[in-house]
Amino acid sequence: MARDYYGLLGVGKNATDQELKRAYRKLARELHPDVNPDEAAQARFKEVSTAYEVLTDPEKRRIVDLGGDPLENGGGGAGFSGAGFGGLGDVFEAFFGGMSGQGGGGARKPRGRVQPGADSLIRTRLSLAECAVGVTKHLTVDTAILCDICHGAGTNGNSKPVRCETCDGAGEVQSVQRSFLGQVLTSRPCPTCRGAGETIPDPCHKCGGDGRVRARREIAAPIPAGVANGMRVRLAAQGEVGPGGGHAGDLYVEVVEQPHDTFVRDGDDLHCTVRVPMVDAALGTTVVVDTILDGPTELTINPGTQPGEVIQLRGHGMPRLRSGARGDLLAHLDIVVPTKLDGKQTDMLRKFKGSRDKDRAEVMSAQSEHNSGLFARLRASFSGR
């Protein structure tokens, strides 16, 4: 079966040479081994390069348009015959010629000594209350900072960097390798100057020429109210200073929320469990909950409260991040039956039972109204709430 050379480049059958070149350049920028070391990308780059090579050769393109495959018949089966190699100049011209900010002819500008710095990450433990009100955390961070002796220049005193002798200032060294395409010119960063194109013969004594040093420093990280476990607060330009004193990356402060003694958090809602003695559940009572933001708050237990009932205190949960809204506090009631009764209490309960002659233990219908609460809770627990 003939290969779909047009499909490989993503162009139509009547694509002009200009369109072929544009399509190839676009793909080469994604797939060229210098840009994309991924093996699958390299394999695709070869296919795409082959397609470009074939379609820009009028003779081969004619064979493709007739439904044939110019690389299947003849040419020794090795892909390109020696004669086909002439087109390789175009391949590289198309690729390198179109790279922004770079010269033609395969020569690239050195990337320079000054590089942007990396982002860094620090974790900080916050109590639930701190998450609720927001807090300014004083943290010790360990990052690269600008060298205060050379201010990023990397040089000692008034000395100057010099052009790298290994790469003659290009920042990269090139070698010719044999591959599917025939001979392929590959380039890699210069091992001497690591791509900078220049070296520092007399480096700064403090930073050794890197323009930056590692240091611990204190920062104040403002954590907004409403953050939750795993959230990251970004502090712009507080990360690592780059090589040569390059612009610092960002610092991310990740929140590690500590478990609370009373409350379990679910998004903006808080859950707690309130144990209610059986008699209080029957007669009704009040209980004080020390809420996370509103201080001691009274919770009314109505007479006849059943085990598992949930009392919702609207707006007493966590604040929503960057919003005035608040979640709810949900108090789950656990009705406690006394386990040890003295003789007098037993007598009283017997008397009470005597006055309630209709009360007796029985197996319920699954559909009964009294069971609906239980099953609603079971269903809710399956749905994860």
What gap in Å lies between CA 175 and CA 184, rounded to an integer?
A: 8
**Both ends of the chain: CA-CA distance in Å?**
57
Alpha carbon of 365 to those of 176, 307, 322: distances in Å? Answer: 83, 18, 48
Answer yes or no whether residue 192 interacts with Zn ion by CB under 5 A. yes
What gap in Å lies between CA 32 and CA 43, rounded to an integer?
A: 10
The interface with Zn ion within residues 199-238 (CB under 5 A) comprises 204, 206-207
Taking the least distance from each CB to Zn ion, the nearer of 48 and 150 is 150
* Candidates 56-64, 73-81, 148-156, 217-225; binding stretch for Zn ion (CB under 5 A): 148-156
The alpha carbon dihedral of 126, 128, 131, 133 has a sign of negative
- Report the candidate in 47, 311, 358 with the shortest Cα–Cα distance to residue 179: 47
Shortest Å, Cβ 195 to Zn ion:
7
Q: What are the start-end ranges of the E strands in the chain? A: 120-126, 135-146, 162-163, 172-179, 182-189, 198-199, 212-223, 232-235, 251-257, 264-266, 269-277, 285-291, 295-301, 310-313, 329-336
Cα 237 from chain centre: 18
* Candidates 192-200, 273-281, 315-323, 351-359; binding stretch for Zn ion (CB under 5 A): 192-200
The interface with Zn ion within residues 154-173 (CB under 5 A) comprises 164, 166-167
Answer yes or no whether residue 193 interacts with Zn ion by CB under 5 A. yes
Please work out, in degrees rounded to the nearest 5, the angle formed at the alpha carbon of residue 119 by the alpha carbons of 116 and 125.
160
Q: Which residue in the set 94, 150, 223, 253 belongs to the binding site for Zn ion (CB under 5 A)?
A: 150
Taking the least distance from each CB to Zn ion, the nearer of 205 and 379 is 205
What gap in Å lies between CA 351 and CA 346, rounded to an integer?
A: 9
Taking the least distance from each CB to Zn ion, the nearer of 155 and 305 is 155
Answer yes or no whether residue 135 interacts with Zn ion by CB under 5 A. no
- Report the candidate in 44, 67, 52, 48 with the shortest Cα–Cα distance to residue 15: 52
Shortest Å, Cβ 106 to Zn ion:
16
Q: Which residue in the set 149, 233, 264, 287 belongs to the binding site for Zn ion (CB under 5 A)?
A: 149
Shortest Å, Cβ 154 to Zn ion:
6
Answer yes or no whether residue 194 interacts with Zn ion by CB under 5 A. no
Answer yes or no whether residue 126 interacts with Zn ion by CB under 5 A. no
Contacts with Zn ion, 100-119, as mask; x by CB under 5 A: --------------------
Taking the least distance from each CB to Zn ion, the nearer of 28 and 150 is 150
What gap in Å lies between CA 6 and CA 61, rounded to an integer?
A: 10
What gap in Å lies between CA 248 and CA 237, rounded to an integer?
A: 5
* Candidates 99-107, 186-194, 248-256, 316-324; binding stretch for Zn ion (CB under 5 A): 186-194
Shortest Å, Cβ 59 to Zn ion:
42
What gap in Å lies between CA 276 and CA 307, rounded to an integer?
A: 9
Shortest Å, Cβ 327 to Zn ion:
51
Q: Which residue in the set 190, 272, 276, 329 belongs to the binding site for Zn ion (CB under 5 A)?
A: 190
Shortest Å, Cβ 212 to Zn ion:
8
- Report the candidate in 117, 209, 205, 194 with the shortest Cα–Cα distance to residue 154: 209
* Candidates 143-151, 295-303, 307-315, 354-362; binding stretch for Zn ion (CB under 5 A): 143-151
**Contacts with Zn ion, residue ranges (CB under 5 A):** 147, 149-150, 164, 166-167, 190, 192-193, 204, 206-207
